[in-house]
Chains A and B, each alone.
Chain A
Amino acid sequence: MSKIQQVNRRDFVKLIGLASGGILLGCNVSSSQKEFVPQEKGTFTPNLFIQIQKDGTITLLASRSEMGQGIRTSLASAIADEMEADWKYISLKQATGDAKYGNQNTDGSRSVRTMLLPMRKMGATAKLMLISAAAKKWNLAETDCEAKNHHIINKITGDQIFFGDLVDEAAKVEVPAQELLELKKVEDFKYIGKTLKSIDLKDFTHGTAGYGIDVRIPDMKFAAIARCPVTFGTVKSFDQKAALETIGVTEVFKLERMVPPTGKFFGALGGVAVIANNTWAAFQGKMNLDIEWNYGENKSFNSVEFQEKLKKRVHQKGKLVSGSTGNVSAAFKESNNTIEATYTVPFLVHAPMEVPNATAWFKGNEIEVWAPVQDPQTARAELAHFFEIPLENITVNVTFLGGGFGRKSKSDFVVEAVALSKKIKGPVQVVWTREDDIQHSFYHATSVQYLKGSLDVNGQVTGWLQRVGLPSIVSSFKPMSDYASGFELNQGFTNNPYNLTNFRLENVKAESHLRIGWMRSVVHIHSAFGNNSFVDELAFAAKKDPFEFYLNLIGEETMNSYLFGKN
């Protein structure tokens, strides 16, 4: 890449000439904010790129992880639409994990929400520059030109120039200020909001889409890790003889548990690692290990007993949660129609089709990683922390993800791969077996809820008491987090959609024993289940049609705000 030709403090996009003769546009995206925020002069760093080649090819940088949600296609379509580009010329390059691309954490269903507008502006800028280039060529006003289907059209003569033929001219055009951008009207959208085919279809149907588990590097090894069957247990001793005798196994060693600092990162569980010439040999070697474990303090933990414990707790008073309103006890006293229910959710595991895996090459003062990660920047920062390598010497290549569901935002498997590579001084891929995936996940929390409700003679809900006990995700980052946190309760518990005069929410102690993580929709899994099941019970007790009862409980105002976005 050659030098930056123009940088202007107010510029949304910057222009970079390419040695290959194409042009490259970089844009600054702050995905934590809805609007683009210009950076200060001299610190401007390109975040996302459009590259236009003379053959008309447009290469866009995909900064978010693809795991089946179609984000590579969605974001590319926003740029292409505003550019008036022909979809068939669009190709994508996946960004490595780097803060210069803006927030890359692909979770929370927010990639399109936060990036649609910046992407559209990127496309609009490129279009305007191509129009300027054509106008100059034709000696016309820009208003006499328009972009259409990968060409700039002379509105007076009807002549047209192909995008690719404008590359040299466009490279000399000054980048327009974003105030000059005119975004398309919704009714003129060609790609945005339309059903587009996945840009990766051909690879998906030919087995050529590269997932993490498909990464192959010359002379790489394959690894499996035996982790303690009790979470956070450690290796006491092990006999490696049989494992080492397994055909294809080359090395066996202990991997220390890597404990993350309070407040961030994920660490790695540790265990006994088996290095081999192929994945199956590593799996076999692992099965042939004879390990004595220190089970640690979770030795007696039993998820069924734990749920019983939570059941007892939700039948006693818990901590009052703010947002509670009215007087539930009075409502219960006044009613001669009260009902109760208890709901439980088990620990859940994500089980993506592609098991956790990562390939790493520790090269002394450099680390290169190839992995199916939802959050490559955290993976990179975590590696810098544990291996004391400068961030800029760490490359995290993001592969396709064979499903993510939140599991692959946790980079423990990446840390494992790097630790193994450091030990064997060469490239290695760690692959979890399906059993490993189920047994050692960052579980979606179990929960128990107790609900009590009261109805008046007309079948209107007069009181709603809800107690909830669920181990907090925060516990994975901060010890002693024994209650569901505010951000968790705000997913459907404190902010249920019902119109309730007397509402009381209580938080019940639920200490964590396992690695608790988030899974798609997160705490709504518990709240939506408990809330809606209980509304159904109330409707039954009120002898009313459940659907009508439900609508009535939500109320017209709230329903309209959901349906039409009115507050």
Chain B
Amino acid sequence: MNILLSINEKSYAIEAASETPLLWAIRDIVGLTGTKFGCGISQCGACSVLIDGNLIKSCGIPVSFAVGKEIFTIEGTSETLEFLREAWNEGNVPQCGYCQSGQLIAATSLLDKIHHPSDEDIDTAMSNNICRCGTYTRIKKAIHKAAALKNKSL
């Protein structure tokens, strides 16, 4: 069926079976490959996106769910995400980099909601994003750093 998606404030008219998971619609049909496939069962977080500001594992929801809503992916930009990128850069966070799109999106969701996250807040918010290289400590530091940068700018 014909589906209209809004991703990072751009419209995409695509042809897809309505039950196609959003992940594969974004990656294979729209062609934005920054959002990753990791497990296919909403466990690893590599496919994390924001839908109307809410953190969603895109491998686990049908594309039809996102119609009429605003989808935000790693290809997008927001004030929070830019502070996170700066902190990620400063802390040299990624190793293989594959999970980092999902990590950054999950961290964006966290900082959009909690301006001064504690270690515990970060652990809770990020516990659904697996990093096989084990960059967790650098991620945690970078989130604190990004929060500080963001709060300073307010």
Which residues of A come within 8 Å of B, CB atoms?
66-70, 195, 197-198, 200-211, 213-214, 216, 222, 247-248, 277-281, 283, 351-355, 400-405, 431, 433-434
CB–CB B92/A205 < 8 A: no
A276: nearest residue on chain B (CB-CB)? Answer: B28
CB–CB B96/A433 < 8 A: no
CB–CB B95/A70 < 8 A: yes
Residues of the A chain whose Cβ atoms lie less than 8 Å from the Cβ of B94: 68, 198, 200-201, 204-205
Bound form: Cα–Cα A202–B32 in Å: 17
Residues of the A chain whose Cβ atoms lie less than 8 Å from the Cβ of B24: 278-280
CB–CB A68/B40 < 8 A: no
* 13 A–B contacts, CB within 8 A, in A order: A67-B96, A68-B133, A201-B89, A205-B89, A207-B34, A209-B97, A210-B33, A222-B28, A280-B23, A353-B99, A402-B97, A402-B98, A434-B41
- By the criterion of a CB under 8 Å from any partner CB, how many residues of chain B are at the interface? 43
Bound form: Cα–Cα A369–B31 in Å: 20
Cross-interface CB contact of A354 among B29, B32, B98, cutoff 8 Å: B98
Residues of the B chain whose Cβ atoms lie less than 8 Å from the Cβ of A68: 94-97, 133
Bound form: Cα–Cα A70–B41 in Å: 30
Other A-B contacts than A205-B88, A207-B73, A278-B28, 19 sampled, CB-CB below 8 A, are: A67-B96, A70-B95, A198-B94, A201-B92, A201-B94, A202-B89, A203-B97, A204-B97, A205-B94, A207-B32, A207-B34, A247-B17, A278-B16, A278-B24, A280-B23, A351-B132, A353-B36, A403-B133, A433-B40
- With contact pairs A352-B132, A354-B36 given, residues A198 and B92 touching in the complex (Cβ less than 8 Å): yes
Residues of the A chain whose Cβ atoms lie less than 8 Å from the Cβ of B38: 353-355, 434
CB–CB A353/B98 < 8 A: yes
Residues of the A chain whose Cβ atoms lie less than 8 Å from the Cβ of B31: 216
Residues of the B chain whose Cβ atoms lie less than 8 Å from the Cβ of A248: 17, 20
Residues of the B chain whose Cβ atoms lie less than 8 Å from the Cβ of A216: 31, 33
Residues of the B chain whose Cβ atoms lie less than 8 Å from the Cβ of A277: 28
Which residues of B come within 8 Å of A, CB atoms?
16-17, 20-21, 23-25, 27-29, 31-41, 44, 46, 73-75, 85, 88-89, 92, 94-101, 104, 130-133
CB–CB A213/B75 < 8 A: no
CB distance from B133 to the nearest CB of A (A): 5
Residues of the B chain whose Cβ atoms lie less than 8 Å from the Cβ of A434: 38-41
Bound form: Cα–Cα A197–B27 in Å: 28
CB–CB B36/A213 < 8 A: yes
Residues of the A chain whose Cβ atoms lie less than 8 Å from the Cβ of B44: 353
CB distance from A264 to the nearest CB of B (A): 28
Residues of the A chain whose Cβ atoms lie less than 8 Å from the Cβ of B89: 197, 201-202, 205
CB distance from B43 to the nearest CB of A (A): 9
Bound form: Cα–Cα A351–B85 in Å: 27
Residues of the B chain whose Cβ atoms lie less than 8 Å from the Cβ of A208: 34, 75
Residues of the A chain whose Cβ atoms lie less than 8 Å from the Cβ of B32: 207
Residues of the A chain whose Cβ atoms lie less than 8 Å from the Cβ of B104: 205
CB–CB B20/A278 < 8 A: yes
Cross-interface CB contact of A206 among B46, B75, B99, B133, cutoff 8 Å: B75
Bound form: Cα–Cα A203–B97 in Å: 9
Bound form: Cα–Cα A434–B41 in Å: 9
Bound form: Cα–Cα A211–B104 in Å: 18
Bound form: Cα–Cα A68–B98 in Å: 9
Interchain residue pairs A-B with the least CB separation, the first 5 = A207-B34, A402-B98, A68-B96, A207-B74, A204-B97
Residues of the A chain whose Cβ atoms lie less than 8 Å from the Cβ of B35: 207
Bound form: Cα–Cα A403–B38 in Å: 11
CB–CB A353/B132 < 8 A: yes
B91: nearest residue on chain A (CB-CB)? Answer: A197
CB–CB B28/A403 < 8 A: no
Residues of the B chain whose Cβ atoms lie less than 8 Å from the Cβ of A209: 97
Residues of the A chain whose Cβ atoms lie less than 8 Å from the Cβ of B99: 353, 402
CB distance from A1 to the nearest CB of B (A): 31
